[in-house]
Amino acid sequence: MLMFVYFGGALYAQEKGVSFGGHVYSDDFPITKGYAYLYRYENMDAPYMITEIDTLGFYYFYNVPQDKYIVYAGLSLDDPNFGQFAFTYYPNVALWQDARPIAPTSDTWNYHIHLINQDPENNLSGAGRISGKVDNGNSDMVDVMLFDPTLKKVISHMPVNKRGSFEFNNLPWGEYVLYPQVVGLSTQPKLLYINEQTSFLSDLEIEVSTQVSVVGIEETEKILSNYELDFYTANSNSINFKLYSPKTEVIDYTLFNLNGQIVAQGKWNTTAGSYDYNVDVWHMPTQMYFLQLSDKNNVVLKAKCLF
């Protein structure tokens, strides 16, 4: 639809855009200090628009072209809850690959975001520390995420400083996944373990690839509730799973990389109950992958895994 505007005494026609937004919440309360970032889905080199959250916790993007977008929001550094809640993509996910594209065709104000609470039980206390530097041309656009080994829980997150450095303190002993994130780019997660002997992991060097990824996998989800999958061991040759299947059948597995490319596929001859299965990965680099399982009729399960 065209609208007409006067400028400099002349009448111009321009395409009328759409406006949209929503609330940003920390737990059940709207935030009062923060920002929302708008990225065009087909061009994520830089934010298309940045807006400040208003005092009622609302973000607005006015008169943008009809297109597909992803939205990313979080607290500003001067908010007292900064560090408690991670920057989060619509709809309430930690990774840009899982963000759901927004394609408004009319003015809409219900694209709400609930920020991920990194430590809801206030249990993050220990003597461990992980620090390092991200090698990337624009450190302003890098967030470093710290996950549990399953990649299901955000332990902590922080933007790197002007020198590209980051540091996580007060960590209990255990396994962590360190994941540098730049919207639209491939990155390599690192699986780390800290204990009394290796309590300080420092001077870690992380390189961010300049290859643009293609979102090829939908949000991780269990499609049918009667299937259960656990990723429990991995080595340089194979990644092993424990799958509960409700019946004896042939399951097709497909493993995708972050670019949406198929890197492994095959069949598991399953038996009713919980049994171990594996995927040969000796030829693949260590990073995050997406596993999709299908029976003869449906996709039954999708899951993330790291090896």
pLDDT score of 26 more than 50: yes
Q: Which of 4-13, 49-58, 153-162, 231-240 has the highest mean pLDDT?
A: 49-58
Residue with the bigger pLDDT between 62 and 284: it is 62
Instruction: List, for residues 93-108, the tens digit of each pLDDT value.
Output: 988 888 899 999 899 9
Distance, in Å, from the CA atom of 181 to the CA atom of 164, rounded to the nearest integer, reads: 12
Contact 173, 196 (CB under 8 A): yes
Separation of CA 223 from chain center:
20
Specify the pLDDT at position 23. 95
pLDDT score of 130 more than 90: no
Architecture of domain 228-306: Sandwich (2.60)
Q: Would you state the torsion angle of the CA atoms of residues 135, 138, 143, 149, taken in this order, to the nearest 10 degrees?
A: -30
Residue 65 CB coordination number (10 Å): 11
pLDDT score of 191 more than 80: no
Amino acid at 154: V
Contact 305, 289 (CB under 8 A): yes
Banded model confidence at residue 115, pLDDT cuts 50, 70, 90: very high
Every domain of the chain with CATH number 2.60.40.10 lies at 128-207
Specify the pLDDT at position 171. 85
Distance, in Å, from the CA atom of 61 to the CA atom of 103, rounded to the nearest integer, reads: 13
pTM above 0.85, yes or no: no
DSSP the chain: -EEEEEETTEEEEEE--EEEEEEEEETTEE-SSEEEEEEETTB-SS-SEEEE--TTSEEEEEEEPS--EEEEEEE-TTSTTBTTEE-EETTTBSSGGGPPPB--SS-B----EEEEES-TT-----SEEEEEEEE-S-GGG-EEEEE-TTS-SEEEEEE--TTSEEEEEEEPSEEEEEEEE-TTB----EEEEE-STT-EEEEEEEE---PBP---S----BSSTT-EEEEEEE-SSEEEEEEEESS-EEEEEEEE-TTS-EEEEEEEEE-SEEEEEEEE-TTS-SSEEEEEEE-SSSEEEEEEEE-
Residues 6+ apart with CB under 8 A from 161: 139
Specify the pLDDT at position 109. 92
Residue 238 CB coordination number (10 Å): 15
Amino acid at 133: K
The CA-based diameter of the chain, rounded to the nearest angstrom, is 77
User: Mean pLDDT over residues 63-69, rounded?
Assistant: 92
Instruction: List, for residues 228-280, the tens digit of each pLDDT value.
Output: 666 545 555 677 777 777 778 888 888 877 666 788 888 888 888 777 877 77
End-to-end C-alpha distance for the chain, whole angstroms? 49
Specify the pLDDT at position 212. 33
Instruction: List, for residues 1-25, the tens digit of each pLDDT value.
Output: 444 444 444 444 445 689 999 999 9
Banded model confidence at residue 208, pLDDT cuts 50, 70, 90: low
Every domain of the chain with CATH number 2.60.40.1120 lies at 13-117
What is the percentage of the chain residues whose pLDDT exceeds 90?
21
Specify the pLDDT at position 39. 93
Specify the pLDDT at position 18. 92
Architecture of domain 13-117: Sandwich (2.60)
pLDDT score of 155 more than 90: no
> CATH classification of 128-207 is 2.40.50.100, yes or no?
no
